[in-house]
Amino acid sequence: DAGITQSPRHKVTETGTPVTLRCHQTENHRYMYWYRQDPGHGLRLIHYSYGVKDTDKGEVSDGYSVSRSKTEDFLLTLESATSSQTSVYFCAISEGSLTNQPQHFGDGTRLSIL
Amino acid sequence: DQQVKQNSPSLSVQEGRISILNCDYTNSMFDYFLWYKKYPAEGPTFLISISSIKDKNEDGRFTVFLNKSAKHLSLHIVPSQPGDSAVYFCAASDIIQGAQKLVFGQGTRLTINP
């Protein structure tokens, strides 16, 4: 299994509070991704990183920010959580930008915004 | 508009028979396709992939077929086993600004009945 750890695994918080999710990898892969999974939508890309301090937006980036200060850590922050951000969040990693290789996923964080 | 669609939310198959999961896409720029399997409370696990230069890829009980003219791919599982019960996601890959972007279908829940 790819060495990907997401923390926390579960979190319940209130609307308007800041929330930070962490993704830690031990594979030294360059690319890291944050997705959210919602019923009827599959997984959708929020943000991704192509190196330390190098990040860009994905399909559903509004309301989210990310940071990557070290190769192994990729943080997802909800500055002011809303109920629409209740979801399961997955981190993924990949070795390079070539198309013919899969991304590998962590076990997810279930986030509930009340 | 969803670029990758799995039109069957669920599928039920008898143990030992063939399971066929389908996926359609709209973007002709996609050049690499993947299938992921997901158990509850776990992250998606990479199963099998296919490059757009091929029309078939086989790995043990799993075969993926790609029909580029119809923009359609399918996953065949033969024979189906109880452990195959899971949600299956198809995904299509595109390279944007050097990063691999995966676009996922909504998922199909496969149930293998004894």
Distance (Å, whole) CA A94 – CA A96: 6
Nearest CA to A76 out of A7, A27, A1, A4 is that of A7
| Contact state of B101 with A45 under an 8 Å Cβ cutoff | yes
Question: Which chain B residues in 11-40 lie under 8 Å from chain A, judged by CB atoms?
Answer: 31-32, 34, 36
Separation in Å, CA of B108 to nearest CA in chain A: 10
B80 within 8 A of B18, measured Cβ to Cβ: yes
pLDDT tens readout for residues B12-50: 999 999 999 999 999 998 989 999 999 999 999 999 999
Separation in Å, CA of B26 to nearest CA in chain A: 16
Q: Per-residue pLDDT for A99 more than 70?
A: no
| Contact state of A108 with B43 under an 8 Å Cβ cutoff | yes
pLDDT tens readout for residues B66-105: 999 999 999 999 999 999 999 999 999 988 767 788 999 9
